[in-house]
Structure 1
Amino acid sequence: MANSTPTFWNPHAAMERRDSQIWSDLKRAIATSSGFQRWQVDREDGQRLRHLSLDQQVRAYLRETLETLAY
């Protein structure tokens, strides 16, 4: 019995799927928050913002929020 672990089981892939699902859920929660929606409206470059994916917008929002909190 050389290896009893099924060949289809890949812990690394399972972790990546879990992390992906967590990010998806978090991104959706952030996108529906009033803070994020206000941030979108307040952007001076709103036209440019519309061309970004939701993923890119949420990342920019989080980056700006964390930079503000760091001061």
Structure 2
Amino acid sequence: MAQFPTSSDYAHTTDSTVSVNGERKDHQLSANTQFWHNLKYVISASSGFQRWQLECNAKLQSLRLDQQVQMYLRETLETLA
């Protein structure tokens, strides 16, 4: 079974550092990007997301996976609210 990083895996990152050539790098952004990628993968593999995709097939065809996951989460939270 695949293991996905948890939030504690990213706790060691700093907000930002300066590289040798003076270019600013944002490590927290990189960690957040990786965390979103893993979360998006887990959500898209869930039965609830896959069922939702089948129900919304026509309006999802032109959307990227991250847009679909965002829409799914938004609609799910609106339903719960």
Which category describes the TM-score, using the shorter chain as reference length? 0.7 to 0.9
Name which of 49, 58, 65 aligns with 2:76: 65
Tell me how far 1:8 sits from its aligned partner. 1.1
Name which of 13, 29, 33 aligns with 1:20: 33
> Normalized against structure 1, the TM-score is what?
0.78
Q: Which has the higher strand share?
A: 2
Kindly indicate whether structure 1 or structure 2 has the higher relative contact order, using CA contacts under 8 Å at least 6 residues apart: 1
What stretches of structure 2 of length at least 5 have no aligned partner? 1-16
Partner of 2:67: 56
Tell me how far 1:40 sits from its aligned partner. 0.5
What stretches of structure 1 of length at least 5 have no aligned partner? 1-5
Ranges of 4+ aligned residues in structure 1 off by more than 4 Å = none
Tell me how far 1:42 sits from its aligned partner. 1.3
Distance (whole Å) between structure 1 residues aligned to residue 18 and residue 73 of structure 2: 38
Matched residue SS, 1:30: helix
Partner of 2:42: 29
Count of residue correspondences: 62
Larger gyration radius, structure 1 or structure 2:
1
